[in-house]
Amino acid sequence: MSGVTPSPPSMPAASPWHDAVVERVAVLTPRIVSVFLRAPLAPGLAGQHLVVRLTAPDGYAAQRSYSVASAPGVMPIELIVEKLEDGEVSPFFHEVVAPGDHLEVRGPLGGHFVWRPADGGPLLLVGGGSGVAPLMAMVRDWHASGAGVPLLLVVSARTWAELAFRDELVALQARAPLLRFVAVTTRDAAHRPGDLVQRLDSTALQRLLAAWGHVPAHVFVCGANRFVEAVTTGLLDAAVPAERIRTERYGGAG
């Protein structure tokens, strides 16, 4: 992935812990829940993440990072958590966390994988699975701010049912002519004209960019390692300049 600038590690130690109250947990897809939190945090920027710390009664603590999916300053803050069956923390959000529970959070953190309305566009966002989370914050901020720049959002999941935020995005696209939302599924039929059924590769990305008709000024790619690798390689093949591409990796090979 030569030339593409990866997100530098953020500095969570500089940010204090705050109490957060779980307001609501909602099923977003069969594998992803939305967790809505109230916490006294600064608004931050679209694309940033929180660190969440869970502490067991015996004092054992585990912490993980979750991107903020809500727009900056919106309360409650929405995080989305994909369940890894063999994971330590993510199943807790699916099986244990309930309204009224208290967690510890710090952030928003991360200064590289962020988009501000003043940054403008055209804006290309490509996400895989729960990697849509920080991109959703950008889409929501883009819409709320009235940034008049074209936005192409490409989201990949195994099936249409597993595409987080699909209904909100379809509805938003109907209201926002500058938004183009392309769903990419790997194990399902296409649901709408223009959607793709395949793994994203150079050819698919070149076609998407040609059909869009814009040259992206800012590109954000987020997802599992293998997804980010494939998409960034494809974008470089499609002649997108490396310095315009920013990536965020959630770990994992899927």
Ligand X SMILES: Cc1cc2nc3c(=O)[nH]c(=O)nc-3n(C[C@H](O)[C@H](O)[C@H](O)COP(=O)(O)OP(=O)(O)OC[C@H]3O[C@@H](n4cnc5c(N)ncnc54)[C@H](O)[C@@H]3O)c2cc1C
Distance CA(151)–CA(119), nearest Å, equals: 13
Q: Does 88 bind ligand X (CB under 6 A)?
A: yes
User: Nearest to residue 197, comparing CAs of 228, 157, 168?
Assistant: 157
Query: In angstroms, rounded to a whole number, what is the distance separating the alpha carbons of residues 230 and 17?
Result: 36
CB of 43 or CB of 252, closer to ligand X: 252
Q: Is 104 in the site for ligand X (CB under 6 A)?
A: no
Between 165 and 208, name the residue whose CB sits nearer to ligand X.
165
90 contacts ligand X (rule: CB under 6 A): yes
The reply on whether position 77 binds ligand X by CB under 6 A is no
Residue nearest ligand X, CB atom distance: 87
> Does residue 148 belong to the site contacting ligand X (CB under 6 A)?
no
- The size of the interface with ligand X (CB under 6 A), counted in residues, is 20
Q: Which is nearer to ligand X, 34 or 173 (CB)?
A: 34
Q: At what angle do helices 225-237 and 202-212 cross, to 10 degrees?
A: 60
Distance CA 236, CA 221 (A): 12
Alpha-helical runs (H) found in the chain: 90-95, 132-145, 166-175, 202-212, 225-237
* From 31, 49, 94, 246, residue interacting with ligand X (rule: CB under 6 A): 49
* 3 or 251: CB nearest ligand X: 251
Q: Which is nearer to ligand X, 121 or 128 (CB)?
A: 128
| Consecutive H or E run containing 103 | strand 102-109
Pick between residue 110 and residue 150 the one whose CB is nearest to ligand X.
110
Q: Does 84 interact with ligand X (rule: CB under 6 A)? A: yes
Q: Cα–Cα distance between 248 and 225 in angstroms, integer?
A: 9
Residue pair 202/229 in contact (Cβ under 8 Å)? The answer is no
What is the C-alpha to C-alpha distance for residues 235 and 57, in angstroms, rounded to an integer? 47
Q: Note whether 97 binds ligand X by CB under 6 A.
A: no
Q: With contacts defined by CB under 6 A, name the span among 75-83, 139-147, 206-214, 234-242 that binds ligand X.
A: 75-83
Residues found near ligand X in the complex (CB under 6 A) = 49, 64-67, 80-82, 84, 86-90, 130, 133, 248, 250-252
